[in-house]
Amino acid sequence: MSEVKSTVFLCLQANDETRGVIEAIERDNEHASFDYQPGMVRITAPGTLTVRRETVEEEVGREFDLQELHINMISLSGHVDEDDDALVLSWDR
Amino acid sequence: MTIIANAPYDFTSNDRQEDFRGAMLVYVGWARHMMFASPYCWPLPPDMPFGALVEGPMAQAFAQHPDWEQADWSTATWTRNGEPFTPDLSKSLADNGLSHKDSLMFTTPGLDGIGGMGF
Amino acid sequence: MDIAVTKKKLGLKERYALMTRGLGWEPTYQSVDDVFPMDSFEGIKIHDWDAWEDPFRLTMDAYWKYQAEKERKLYAILDAFAQGNGHLTLSDARYINTVKLFINGLAPLEYMSHRGFAHIGRQFRGVGPRVACMMQSLDEMRHAQTQVHAISNYNRYYDGMANFRHHHTYLPYLQVPRSFFEDAASGGPFEFITAIGFAFEYVLTNLVFVPFISGAAYNGDMGAMTFGFSAQSDEARHMTLGLEVIKFMLEQDPDNLPIVQKWLNKWTWRGVRVLTLVAMMQDYMLPKRVMSWAEAWEIYFEENCGALFRDLARYGIVMPPCVEQVRKERDHLSHMAWCQFYQARGTNNFHVWLPSKEDMDWLSAKYPETFDQYYRPRFEYWAKMEEEGTPFEAATPPQQCQVCQIPTIFPVAGDPLTRAEHSCTHDGERFHFCSQWCQEIFEDEPEKYVQAKLGAHELYKGNLFGDADPTAEDFDPMAAAMAFLKLTPEDSGLHSDSRDAANFDLWRGLAKANEA
Ligand SMILES: [Fe+2]
Ligand SMILES: [Fe+2]
């Protein structure tokens, strides 16, 4: 085990389409921090970060396919585990 | 080591001396004078006197620095490819033992760049 | 009576399995080794290609849908930017020079990447990675096209962009990024994907597209911001692919470890050397700055690559030894690069300038350990020379590193006033390097790097004279070389003297006021 806790991150364009997604991420990831830079937001979290479809759907008020994230995703780090219900970034496997 | 390839791999160097129409490449840099971002490169005839390299191409490249005109060639020290080297300014590059693509660095004692800052 | 059958919609994982692995087949009249002749010579051992899984599970139908959506958004913004004379809303005309570096240095790499992935998308025998490589190949073509398209809006008004393909092939400083990619593309498929997936996508594009493109947005360049973020949305998938291949190699056979470690060592260094250009763009070329190179380095290398290497430690991978030197160079890199480009400005296809007092104060705040001590005095001295009408300019071509092709500008790590000297002989010929690390890369495959075409050497061999006759009485070698390179006086030199600066001021003035 390493001493340092690795962070994962997800960078999204900051626009109208991602507002609900960002709010959903905020609700589901209390440990995450949000750094707004020109045109984008960089969301970092120690260990793991989860985007849950259900929460996003509640926020945007419609059905949401998690692969829609590809449109506004700028960058990420960590291992990706994606299924129909959640996209999880983590370094712990 | 040698390259791992999936077919015979046999290519000659791109910069052999014979490609330079009789000239040899020589690089010269000036220690403690970082104003010049890197050593410079010239194609020179091997029978050129070493002193002519100093007065010709080197002066052209380095004379923009105010230290240049104070340089004392009797006390200057040189390295060639990182090893100590003592050129005879009256002899040719070839007779000084220079080879194609040798890299020279010279130090001018007492001259330490603008404001003594190595620049 | 018919019973209504509700067909259950396939889940993501099932759909992915059917649309990738389900599309492959076992050859019957040719051996698998003959069908895929290139995925074994590098020594990488793969026992079970089916163990591969693409984490994003993107299938071709979904791929088309989302990529089309990205394109629609991109072109809507590009059109609006062009129609609204967006180039006049930039923070400062100096910014345009970063766009020039982009089109000349980076967009052609996107195209080379397209070709590389098309190639390895044919060569891997596993279906999953083949499909992923094919998508990446299409993405990279899209990146090249959208960058050319977006930047064509600048090319209509400003110099230095019109000959980007020719310049990418011949202009000496552009051989740094070009040779990086050719080095990767002339490796086998596993080395290529390690080089590009790791060094280019994970390390380099994060630093180019995230802080730099955010900087473009900050400087009012909606066009660059949009193509940058649009491209980077694909890179998230690409770096995941690259890292997945690295893990896959390490999991498949312990014999793969030394090969993968060697590639990570090599390509970390190769990537970092190319990043010299990005460091300079960030610290010197953005009139309004979001973060310094050193800050971006901390986030995207120290933090992000640190996490990756901690993760790969389970397979026995260690942090490449060159990283020690990279850390020592962090606070010098952009300054040394700008000093080099300033003095070699006659052979650039973009403009340079000395940092203003305000710029220098920002730089000393960001680089308290190095800027005031080493670099401020240089810029102040050169400013004095400019004022006196004798601006400093290098008249002679530089010595270059045989591997990264950067002029040998780098000092000994930790000793900023002593030039590093590294050389060796191969086959009776001497070769020079910027560093121990480029020398090690050379010594591992000398047969490859002896073929490098270094700018100064090409000039002296007479390879840059085009149709001009060097034996003619009035032959002017510099004029012949400039004509062959298609480098005009308008393309290079000082920003303050440039046609671009004059035009930008004129047009912006016209845009802000009505003529009397
Ligand atoms: Fe790309
Ligand atoms: Fe190098």
Q: What are the structural domains, with CATH classification, of chain C?
A: 49-515 (1.10.620.20)
The domain limits of chain B are: 21-114
Span C396-419, average pLDDT: 96
CA C467 – CA C479 distance, rounded (Å):
12
CB atoms B39 and C336 under 8 Å: no
A-contacting chains (≥3 CB pairs under 8 Å): C
Q: Please report, for the domain that includes residue A25, its CATH number.
A: 3.90.56.10
- The answer to whether the beta carbons of residues B44 and B58 sit under 8 Å apart is no
Query: Token pair for residue C242?
Result: 């690259």
* pLDDT tens per residue across span B39-48: 999 999 999 9
From chain C, the residues in CB contact with A42 under 8 A are: 210
Residue C317 tokens, joined: 């991978």
Question: What pLDDT is attached to residue C214?
Answer: 80
For chains B and C, CB pairs below 8 A equal: 144
Residue A1 lies in a domain: no
Calculate the average pLDDT of chain C.
91
Decide if C340 and B27 are in contact by the 8 Å CB cutoff.
no
Which residues form the domain of A60?
7-90
| Interface contact flag, A84 C215, Cβ < 8 Å | no
For every residue of C255-314, DSSP letters joined together read THHHHHHHHHHHHHHHHHHHHHHHHHIIIII-SS-SS-HHHHHIIIIIIHHHHHHHHHGG
Residue A2: what pLDDT? 46
Contact between chains at B37 and C339 (C-beta distance less than 8 A): yes
Assigned CATH topology for domain B21-114: Ubiquitin-like (UB roll) (3.10.20)
pLDDT digit string (tens) for C234-274? 888 888 888 899 999 999 999 999 999 999 999 999 999 99
Burial class (CB in 10 A: 0-12, 13-18, 19+), B109: exposed
Angstrom distances, CA of residue B113 to CA of B67, B107, B119: 7, 11, 5
Give the pLDDT score at A90. 92
Residue C2 has pLDDT above 60, yes or no: no
> Which numbered ligand comes closest to the C-alpha of C449?
2
Task: Classify residue A2: in a domain, yes or no.
Answer: no
Is B88 touching C (CB cutoff 8 A)?
no
Q: Is C431 on the interface with B (CB under 8 A)?
A: yes
Q: Check residues A2 and C64 and name the one with the higher pLDDT.
A: C64
pLDDT at C168 over 90: yes
Is residue A56 situated within a structural domain? yes
Per-residue pLDDT, A61: 95
pLDDT for the residue C6: 60
The reported pLDDT for the residue numbered C509 is 84
Contact C12 A72 (CB under 8 A): no
Query: How does residue A91 score in pLDDT terms, banded at 50, 70 and 90?
Result: confident
Q: Is C514 left (phi over 0), alpha (psi -120 to 50) or beta?
A: beta
pLDDT-derived band at C5 (thresholds 50, 70, 90) equals low
Ligand lying closest to the C-alpha of residue C269: 2
Does the CA dihedral C202-C99-C381-C295 come out positive or negative?
negative
Burial of A62 (0-12, 13-18, 19+ CB in 10 A): exposed
Tell me if C229 sits within 8 A of C235, measured CB to CB: no
Model confidence at C7: pLDDT above 70: no
User: pLDDT tens digit string along C336-349?
Assistant: 999 999 999 999 99
* pTM of this structure: 0.93
- Residue C430: list chain B partners with CB under 8 A: 81, 99-103
Is the pLDDT score of C496 beyond 80?
Answer: yes
For residue C425, what pLDDT is reported? 97
Q: What's the burial of C162, exposed, middle or buried (CB within 10 Å: 0-12/13-18/19+)? A: middle
Q: How far is the CA of C490 from the centre of ligand 2 (A)?
A: 30
The answer to whether C478 contacts chain B (CB < 8 Å) is no
8 Å CB contact of C450 and B40: no
- Assign A3 a pLDDT band (cuts: 50, 70, 90): low
Put simply, whether B57 touches C (Cβ < 8 Å) is yes
Question: CA geometry: angle at C241 spanning C252 and C44, to 5°?
Answer: 30
CB contact under 8 A, C394 and B1: no
For residue C159, pLDDT beyond 90:
yes
Q: What is the mean pLDDT of residues C462-488?
A: 90
Give the residue from C39, C334, C417 with the most B CB atoms within 10 Å of its CB, the best one to mutate.
Answer: C417
Report CA(C64)–ligand 1 centroid distance (Å): 17
Could you give the CA distance from residue C333 to residue C330 in angstroms, rounded to a whole number?
Answer: 6
Q: Is the ipTM of this complex over 0.85?
A: yes
Domain total of chain A: 1
Lowest mean pLDDT among C147-156, C217-226, C299-308, C396-405: C217-226
